[in-house]
C-alpha cells in the first residue's frame, strides 16, 4: 500500500491543497516537505523534517491528511507524524506544480491603519538557511494566531528581516480574516505615545492609549530592546501583554537579542517572552544573498548583469538592508550618469562600503538608509528637492546625525543630500539640536537611530 501512496503522493497533497484552499506558501512550507514512510495496521507514517514544527504539523494537518489519504485509498486509515532522524531515510521526491489560489486583496486603508509596509509580505521574503525556522514559525503564527506560539519572539542582528517577517504575518492574517484588528508598532512609538499619554499631550489620555494597544487581535512590537531600561514603559507593556495574552490574542515581538540576554529586562517580562517560541535570524549565506538580490531585481524590474549581482553578494555580507542599499545605489548612479550598469560602475559605487577588513563604517549613505527606513521613506526622498514636512524633518535628522556621527565635511554632507548648501546643513542640524532640548520623543528617536546606525 505504501507504494501506491508514494506514487500518488503529489496528487494527494494537491487534492488536499485545493480542497482546503491552502495557500502556496503554507503548502510549500508544511506539506511539500512531508514524505510518506510506511503503511502498517492501517496507519500511515509520515516524516516531518523539522523538530520545532512537529507539534504544529500534527495539530494542524493530522485530520486533513487523514481524510485526504483515506479518501484516496478508499479505506479509513490513521496518520502518525514522525521526525526524519527517528526513521530511516525515505527516498521520495515530490515536486508538485503549484497552483495559484485565494488572491483576495486587502484594502490599502486597512494596511495603512495597521502600519504595514505593503511590500513586506511572505511572497517577497526569500527563505534561506539563515531564516527558515523563523519563517516557518512566522507562517505557523499567521495561520493560527493566538493559538500555537504565543508570544512569537523573533531576534537577530540589524537589517536581517525581522520587521519584514512581522509585517508578512500581519498581511497574511488580514488576507484570511480582513476583520482582524492588527497593530504593528515600533517599541519607540509605543514609548513615545505612552509619554504623550502620561503628559496628556496631543490630546491622548492614558485610557485611550490602553484602548489602542489592548484592543487588538494581533499586536506586533518591533525592536523591543528599546523599551528596556525605561521602567514606566516596561510596566505598561507588562499589563498590555497580560491583557492580550489572557484573551488569547497574538503577540509578536522582535529584538536584537534573545530574552535571556537582554540585561535590563525585568524578570517577569523575560519569563513571559519565553512562554511561546523564540526564533532567530542569522546573517544570510552567499546563496541567500544572491536570491535576495535577484528577488529585488525582479520586484523592481531591473535587468542587471549577473556578474554585478555576484559582486554585491560576495562583498556585502552581514546586513540585508545594506545589500539592498548597494543595489539601489548602483541603479541610481547609472541613471544619473546615463550609463550601463557594469562591474566597473559597481566597484566605483560601492568603494566606500567595501573596504576589505574594515569595520562597518558609519557613512552618510548608511545614515540616509537607516533614517529613510525608519520613517518609511525611500533614500532618494531624503536627497530629493521635496519640501513636505514628512521629508524635511527626517532630512534634518540626517544632517544632525552626519554631523555627530561622521567626520564628513559640511559641503560633502550637502552633496550627499542632493547638492544642498553647507549653510542648509548647519541650519538643519542646529534645528534638531535645539528641538532635542525640549522634545523627549525626539530624544528617544535619535537614541534609537544611533543604535541602529552603530549597534556596538
Ligand atoms: N529574507 C529576505 N528576503 C527579502 N528581503 C529581505 C529579507 N530579509 C530582509 N529583507 C529586506 O531587508 C531590509 C531590512 O529588513 P528589516 O527592516 O526587516 O530588518 P530588521 O531585522 O527588522 O532590522 P532592524 O534591526 O534595523 O529593525 C528590508 O528592506 C527587507 O525587505
| CATH number, position 80 | 3.30.300.180
What is the best residue among 122, 129, 163 to mutate for testing ligand 1's pocket, by most ligand atoms within 8 Å of CB? 163
Going from the Cα of 322 to the center of ligand 1, the distance in angstroms, rounded, reads 10
**Residue 102 pLDDT > 60, yes or no?**
no
Asked if residue 436 lies in contact with residue 445, where contact means CB atoms within 8 angstroms, the answer is no
Do 258 and 299 share a structural domain? no
Residue 228 lies in a domain: yes
Residue 456 lies in a domain: no
* Banded pLDDT at 94 (limits 50, 70, 90): very low
Confirm or reject: Cβ of 452 under 6 Å from ligand 1.
Answer: yes
Do 308 and 224 share a structural domain? no
Confirm or reject: Cβ of 159 under 6 Å from ligand 1.
Answer: yes
Residue 91 lies in a domain: no
Do 18 and 77 share a structural domain? yes
Do 373 and 441 share a structural domain? yes
- State the pLDDT at residue 239: 93
What is the best residue among 320, 325, 371 to mutate for testing ligand 1's pocket, by most ligand atoms within 8 Å of CB? 320
Single out the residue in 353, 381, 397 at which a domain terminates: 353
106-110, 254-258, 319-323, 380-384: the lowest-pLDDT one? 106-110
CA distance 344 to 412: 23
Average pLDDT (383-399) is: 92
97-111, 318-332, 342-356, 381-395: the lowest-pLDDT one? 97-111
Look over the chain and give the mean of its residue pLDDT values, rounded to a whole number. 87
Top-confidence residue, 264 or 261: 261
**Residue 248 pLDDT > 90, yes or no?**
yes
CA distance 78 to 312: 51
Confirm or reject: Cβ of 327 under 6 Å from ligand 1.
Answer: no
**Residue 244 pLDDT > 90, yes or no?**
yes
First to last CA, the chain: 59
Going from the Cα of 291 to the center of ligand 1, the distance in angstroms, rounded, reads 14
Single out the residue in 325, 353, 381 at which a domain terminates: 353
* Banded pLDDT at 363 (limits 50, 70, 90): confident
**Residue 309 pLDDT > 50, yes or no?**
yes
Going from the Cα of 167 to the center of ligand 1, the distance in angstroms, rounded, reads 10
Asked if residue 249 lies in contact with residue 241, where contact means CB atoms within 8 angstroms, the answer is no
Residue 102 lies in a domain: no
Question: Atom of ligand 1 at shortest distance to CA of 157?
Answer: 25
**Residue 82 pLDDT > 60, yes or no?**
yes
Residue numbering of the annotated binding site: 159, 161-163
Residue 100 lies in a domain: no
Do 155 and 68 share a structural domain? no
**Residue 105 pLDDT > 80, yes or no?**
no
Do 416 and 366 share a structural domain? yes
95-104, 164-173, 186-195: the lowest-pLDDT one? 95-104
Residue 318 lies in a domain: yes
Question: Atom of ligand 1 at shortest distance to CA of 158?
Answer: 25
Residue numbering of the annotated binding site for ATP: 159, 161-163
b/e per residue 15-44 (b: at least 16 CB within 10 A):
bbbeeeebbbbbbbbbbbbbbbbbbeeeeb
Do 294 and 266 share a structural domain? no
Predicted ipTM of the assembly: 0.98
Going from the Cα of 373 to the center of ligand 1, the distance in angstroms, rounded, reads 10
- State the pLDDT at residue 191: 86
Question: Atom of ligand 1 at shortest distance to CA of 323?
Answer: 12
Do 221 and 119 share a structural domain? yes
Confirm or reject: Cβ of 130 under 6 Å from ligand 1.
Answer: no
* Banded pLDDT at 95 (limits 50, 70, 90): very low
Tell me which residue has its CA closest to atom 29 in ligand 1: 321
* Banded pLDDT at 201 (limits 50, 70, 90): confident
Confirm or reject: Cβ of 397 under 6 Å from ligand 1.
Answer: no
Do 179 and 297 share a structural domain? no
Do 293 and 272 share a structural domain? no
Residue 43 lies in a domain: yes
Do 140 and 56 share a structural domain? no
Query: What is the extent of the structural domain holding 56?
Result: 1-85
124-144: per-residue pLDDT in tens? 999 999 999 999 999 999 999
Residue 126 lies in a domain: yes
CATH of the domain at 124: 3.40.50.300
Going from the Cα of 317 to the center of ligand 1, the distance in angstroms, rounded, reads 13
Do 72 and 26 share a structural domain? yes
pTM comes to 0.75
Count how many domains the chain has. Answer: 4
Single out the residue in 85, 120, 152 at which a domain terminates: 85
CB atoms within 10 A of CB 383: 20
- State the pLDDT at residue 361: 74
Amino acid at each position: 500500500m505504501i507504494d501506491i501512496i508514494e506514487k500518488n503522493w503529489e496528487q494527494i497533497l494537491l487534492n488536499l491543497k485545493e480542497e482546503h484552499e491552502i495557500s502556496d506558501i503554507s503548502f510549500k512550507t508544511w506539506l511539500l516537505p512531508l514524505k510518506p514512510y510506511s503503511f502498517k495496521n492501517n496507519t500511515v507514517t509520515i516524516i516531518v523534517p523539522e523538530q520545532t514544527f512537529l507539534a504544529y504539523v500534527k495539530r494542524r494537518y493530522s485530520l486533513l491528511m487523514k481524510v485526504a489519504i483515506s479518501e484516496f485509498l478508499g479505506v479509513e486509515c490513521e496518520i502518525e507524524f514522525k521526525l526524519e532522524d527517528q526513521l530511516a531515510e525515505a527516498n521520495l521526491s515530490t515536486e508538485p506544480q503549484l497552483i495559484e489560489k485565494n488572491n483576495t486583496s486587502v484594502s490599502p486603508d486597512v494596511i495603512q491603519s495597521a502600519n504595514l509596509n505593503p511590500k513586506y509580505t511572505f511572497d517577497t521574503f526569500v527563505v534561506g538557511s539563515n531564516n527558515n525556522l523563523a519563517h516557518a514559525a512566522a507562517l505557523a503564527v499567521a495561520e493560527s494566531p493566538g493559538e500555537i506560539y504565543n508570544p512569537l519572539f523573533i531576534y537577530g542582528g540589524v537589517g536581517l528581516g525581522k520587521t519584514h517577517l512581522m509585517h508578512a504575518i500581519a498581511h497574511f492574517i488580514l488576507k484570511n480574516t480582513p476583520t482582524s484588528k492588527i497593530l504593528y508598532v515600533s517599541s519607540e512609538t509605543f514609548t513615545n505615545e505612552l509619554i504623550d499619554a502620561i503628559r496628556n499631550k496631543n490630546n491622548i489620555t492614558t485610557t485611550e492609549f490602553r484602548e489602542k494597544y489592548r484592543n487588538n487581535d494581533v499586536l506586533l512590537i518591533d525592536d523591543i530592546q528599546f523599551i528596556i531600561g525605561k521602567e514606566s514603559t516596561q510596566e505598561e507593556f507588562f499589563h498590555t501583554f497580560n491583557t492580550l495574552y489572557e484573551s488569547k490574542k497574538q503577540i509578536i515581538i522582535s529584538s536584537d537579542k534573545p530574552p535571556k540576554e537582554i540585561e535590563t529586562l525585568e524578570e517577569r517580562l523575560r519569563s513571559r517572552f519565553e512562554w511561546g517560541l523564540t526564533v532567530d535570524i542569522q546573517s544570510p549565506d552567499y546563496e541567500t544573498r544572491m536570491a535576495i538580490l535577484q528577488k529585488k531585481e525582479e520586484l523592481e524590474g531591473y535587468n542587471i548583469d549577473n556578474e554585478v549581482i555576484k559582486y554585491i553578494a560576495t562583498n556585502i555580507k552581514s546586513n540585508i538592508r545594506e545589500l539592498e542599499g548597494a543595489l539601489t545605489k548602483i541603479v541610481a548612479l547609472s541613471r544619473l550618469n546615463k550609463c550601463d550598469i557594469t562591474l566597473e560602475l559597481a566597484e566605483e559605487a560601492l568603494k566606500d562600503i567595501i573596504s576589505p577588513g574594515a569595520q562597518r563604517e558609519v557613512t552618510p549613505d548608511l545614515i540616509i538608509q537607516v533614517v529613510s527606513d525608519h520613517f518609511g521613506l525611500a533614500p532618494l526622498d531624503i536627497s530629493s528637492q521635496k519640501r513636505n514636512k514628512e521629508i524635511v524633518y527626517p532630512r534634518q535628522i540626517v544632517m544632525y546625525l552626519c554631523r555627530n556621527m561622521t567626520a564628513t565635511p559640511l559641503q560633502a554632507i550637502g552633496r550627499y543630500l542632493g547638492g544642498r548648501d553647507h549653510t542648509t546643513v548647519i541650519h538643519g542640524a542646529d534645528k534638531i539640536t535645539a528641538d532635542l532640548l525640549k522634545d523627549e520623543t525626539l530624544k528617544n528617536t535619535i537614541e534609537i537611530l544611533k543604535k541602529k546606525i552603530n549597534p556596538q
